[in-house]
Amino acid sequence: MRGDARSMTWTSPRTPAQAVRALAADPRALAFAGGTDLMVAWNMGLLNGRAVIDLSRLTPWRAIRAAKGGLMIGSLATHADILRHPAVRARFPLLAAACATVGAAQIQNRGTLGGNLANASPAGDTFPALAVYEAVVHCLGPEGRRALPLLEFFAGVKKTRLKPGELIESVFLPSLPKPARAEFRKVGTRAAQAISKTMFAGALWLGRGGVVTDVRLAFGSLAPTVRRLSAAEAFMKGRRLDAATAAEAAKLLDADVSPIDDIRSTRAYRLAASRGLLIGFLHGKN
């Protein structure tokens, strides 16, 4: 069965409070931002008979602005808004690079950061960059506001810790010292429009003698949710960044990820390709 437009009710709240009230009143209601994921499911006839709460009139939620100690990105900012924003490009380039790999222009012009988060796909393109930047997700619900660190926001495949009636208001990126090296890589079947087999974002800081003073490494598509490589990061801190350190860090990848065989790739390929991405990054060769 196809989607039946007449079976859907449609409201366009003008304020966040109205949107939260509408969502809280109907647990089956769909919060609709850019619709690039929801419309695919709806076109297949999977969402008929639902109430749609159109968020597109909450224009203040589309803003990207400087905030105390970092940058605040409204949940309705599109991938195109983010990848073109000068402050994102200058201070959070991994996120700009990730947004540029979401679908192609048509999807980047519609899909939103909040929608990407709420959809909670294991392959969400923005998540490894957000994990490296230690993003904080700000939510608004019937009981008020709360802030969730990115890694706590996800509960599993396509599952978040949003409570009934809660919406994502914005994403905060704390300022960080400029890394010595930072990189985003996405591995898919084609250069464009691909859903990833594996995806890497990393940043590292070096001190005197090439010693790693800090490092943040994250992978997507290798577990139900985005993962930071806690074991590899802990191992590397305080060590000289050389081939032996890189090789050992790559060995520790398994400690934090659990890739599977699925329609897009295999566990073995994902692990091998991810180790390659990691070693390339640590050697500065990608």
Partner 1 sequence: MGALTLTVNGRRRTYRGAPFTRLIDVLREDFRLTGAKEGCGEGECGACTVLLDGAPVNSCLIPVGQAAGRRVETVESLGSPEKLSKLQQGFLDCAGAQCGICTPGMLMSAHAHLKSGGRADDASVRTALSGNLCRCTGYQHIVDSVLAAARGRKKRKAARK
Point out which residues bind partner 1 (CB under 8 A). Answer: 3, 5-6, 8, 10, 12, 32, 35-36, 39-40, 42-43, 52, 54, 56, 80, 103-107, 109-110, 191-193
CB of 284 to partner 1, least distance (A): 24
Q: Are 29 and 165 in contact (CB under 8 A)?
A: no
Tokens 């001190």 belong to residue: 207
- Shortest separation between residue 2's beta carbon and partner 1, angstroms: 9
Q: What is the closest distance, in whole angstroms, from the C-beta atom of residue 270 to partner 1 in the complex?
A: 23
Nearer to partner 1, 103 or 276 (CB): 103
39 or 206: CB nearest partner 1: 39
Report the residue number, 107 or 211, with the smaller CB distance to partner 1: 107
Closest distance between partner 1 and the C-beta of residue 86, in Å? 17
CB of 127 to partner 1, least distance (A): 20
Q: How far is the CB of 246 from partner 1 (least distance, A)?
A: 31
Smallest distance from partner 1 to CB 176, Å: 29
What is the DSSP pairing of strand 136-141 with strand 144-149?
antiparallel
Residue 100 or 250 with smaller CB distance to partner 1? 100
> 4 vs 152, which CB is nearer to partner 1?
4
Instruction: Tell me whether residue 3 or residue 142 sits nearer to partner 1 (CB atom).
Output: 3
Q: Which is nearer to partner 1, 18 or 109 (CB)?
A: 109
